Structure 1
Amino acid sequence: MSESTGSTPGERGPLDGVRVVSVAINLPGPAAVARLAGQGASVVTVLPPSGDPLGHVAPDYFDELHAGQEVRTLDLKSPDGRAELEQLLAEADVLVTSSRPSALIRLGLDHASVSGRHTRLCQVDIVGHPGEEAEIAGHDLTYQAVEGLVRDGQLPSTTAVDLAGAERAAAEAAAALVARERTGRGVRREVALSDVAATLARPVVHGMTRPGGPLGGAVPVYAVYAASEGHVALAALEPHFAVNLATALGIGPEELTHDRLAAAFAERPATEWQEWARERDIPLAAVAEV
């Protein structure tokens, strides 16, 4: 994986010895258990006969998120599939799901049923909406849209809610294990993706990233500028970074305006500006063209 997942090869992670079973498909669940695996947990991912949609649309990403895991295909609607899953749950510490409550009830995987059979098993249920609204359909795009994170009619550049939800689910799994140590019984933790979207939207609600806000274009030293080739992202918010920038450009701090910076950055390619900035301790990066 390109991102750090925690432990380095050969090192025992903090979740070494923890056994995780996941029946969660799509993105939040796999990303969550990949984080747990990166912290040392052993993971068995159970897929339905149809597979994981993520594996069909982005097979390389699917493989990345399931590296080091055991992946089994089970038909949980069949007695044999259910029996094999029960064997896995009997030895597991954490169960991760991402289905609606009604689907879990039909499979006998709702926490009320599971906890009766496996009293020490912790359960993390990733749902779209909290509580009684958990049956409402949704995806990353709709959660972002409701919270004002979809702008100008454009699709988001990444599935921010799914991935932030995965991080929250991994944290809730760790919290559930701590709670179990105190009580001796497994607990259920719910992660509602709509709540995650609301959390991500707080900088918007408070005006920080709205158009014209301090992180939305109002501050010249926190902006994106066109270079002679490509663009640069400048984030010299702290006064000492702004002083470094002004000094490096040979201008006074009062001259750090949008127009003056736009004219300066237009003189070189973005990649050259990035190297220039690193040598002078200025937070600036070339904008990657994907």
Structure 2
Amino acid sequence: MATSREHNQPSFTVVSIATNLPGPTAAKRFCELGAEVIKVEPPSGDPMRLYNEPYYTVLAEGQQILTLDLKSPSGMTELHRLLSGADIFLTSHRTGALTRLGLAWDELHAQHPRLSQVAIVGHGDGEGNIAGHDLTYQAHAGTLTPPQLPTIPVADMAGSERAVSEGMAALWETQITGEGTFREVALADMAEEFGAPAYYGLSNPGSLLGGGLPHYGLYEAADGGWVAIALLEPHFLDKATQLLDISGSKEDYRTVIATKTAAEWERWAREHSLPIAAVREAG
């Protein structure tokens, strides 16, 4: 593992064959942390490029993009050449698919003993062949509110960050032992872990963070925009109710927020150091 940051050289190398969202998001973060990232795409390309090319471009920024057919001997030979100089191998395939390609961990470790693998899978505990996507992981975790689809693919985004932390831990362990390690990140587990606030009743409808408090919610402004009010701490709540001269009911907030635009309320909140913000529209 190279360590010469003084000359702007990468401190470690990541080879990724992970496509779609969690893997490329993790690869982007590795790149930001100083890695040389080599992304290997199949001849058909990364599906993310078809789904949303601007986002694909952002996720791939700063990386070397190669096209290899890993089902061909030449493609696999080139991949192993890359892995021979890499520190981390990032994957997001189902377990069986990697085995069929000859990329099971035992085989990889035998050929590249200092290489660590971070395997992003759908389900852990030996169930890495079960098909799934963020929506199905959240379905099992109980974080959906049908028929509304989730705005944020929580399992995918959480999984990408966990993959990075597992990768950095693997680098540290290799520095100590001289051997690479296998790290698995199950997206279904991430949905459950990051869905814990809903499971414990903190953020589901009508709860503390789910609309049960007048001073923690969304209110419509004069221009039709929306304002997020998050006055959880007593000192914020006391200050806001005094400045607004209200008792603090939901009707009070609805009435007073309707007197200014969302942008005006955000400026007002910043002047008074209060956690109130205009809601930015997605997309």
Partner SS state of residue 189, structure 1:
strand
Aligned partner of 1:73 in structure 2 is 67
Distance in 1 between residues matched to 2:112 and 2:84, nearest whole Å: 6
Matches within 5 A, 1:259-270: 259-270=251-262
Matches within 5 A, 1:32-47: 32-47=26-41
Aligned partner of 2:227 in structure 1 is 232
What is the CA-CA distance between 1:182 and the residue it aligns to?
A: 2.0
Q: 1:120-148: per-residue Cα shift (whole Å, max 9, x none)?
A: 00000000000221111100111111112
CA contact (8 A) 1:144 1:161 kept: yes
Partner SS state of residue 55, structure 1:
helix
Report the CA distance shift for 1:280/1:70 in structure 2 as closer, same or farther (over 3 A). Answer: same
Q: 1:233-261: per-residue Cα shift (whole Å, max 9, x none)?
A: 1011111111221122134xxx1111111
Aligned partner of 1:282 in structure 2 is 274
Aligned partner of 1:147 in structure 2 is 141
Partner SS state of residue 276, structure 1:
helix
CA contact (8 A) 1:16 1:39 kept: no
Aligned partner of 2:76 in structure 1 is 82
Let me know the Cα RMSD of the aligned residues.
Answer: 1.6
Report the CA distance shift for 1:14/1:134 in structure 2 as closer, same or farther (over 3 A). Answer: farther
Moved over 6 A (4+): 11-15
Distance in 2 between residues matched to 1:125 and 1:23, nearest whole Å: 10
What is the CA-CA distance between 1:197 and the residue it aligns to?
A: 0.2
For residue 25 of structure 1, the aligned residue among 16, 19, 36 is 19
Matches within 5 A, 1:98-177: 98-177=92-171
Partner SS state of residue 237, structure 2:
helix
AA at the equivalent of 2:261: P
Aligned partner of 1:7 in structure 2 is none
For residue 256 of structure 1, the aligned residue among 239, 242, 248 is 248
Q: 1:35-58: per-residue Cα shift (whole Å, max 9, x none)?
A: 010000000000000101001111
Distance in 1 between residues matched to 2:229 and 2:8, nearest whole Å: 37
What is the CA-CA distance between 1:112 and the residue it aligns to?
A: 0.8
Distance in 2 between residues matched to 1:152 and 1:221, nearest whole Å: 26
> TM-score, length-normalised on structure 1?
0.92
For residue 247 of structure 1, the aligned residue among 224, 242, 248 is 242
CA contact (8 A) 1:15 1:39 kept: no
> TM-score, length-normalised on structure 2?
0.95
Distance in 1 between residues matched to 2:228 and 2:243, nearest whole Å: 17
CA contact (8 A) 1:12 1:40 kept: no
CA contact (8 A) 1:128 1:139 kept: yes
For structure 2, the residue ranges without an aligned partner over 5 or more in a row are: none
Matches within 5 A, 1:5-24: 16-24=10-18
Aligned partner of 1:5 in structure 2 is none
Aligned partner of 1:93 in structure 2 is 87
What is the CA-CA distance between 1:25 and the residue it aligns to?
A: 0.6
AA at the equivalent of 2:85: E
Seq. identity, %? 46
Distance in 1 between residues matched to 2:214 and 2:269, nearest whole Å: 16
Q: 1:71-90: per-residue Cα shift (whole Å, max 9, x none)?
A: 00000111111111111000
Distance in 2 between residues matched to 1:22 and 1:154, nearest whole Å: 33
Distance in 2 between residues matched to 1:122 and 1:167, nearest whole Å: 17
Partner SS state of residue 132, structure 1:
coil
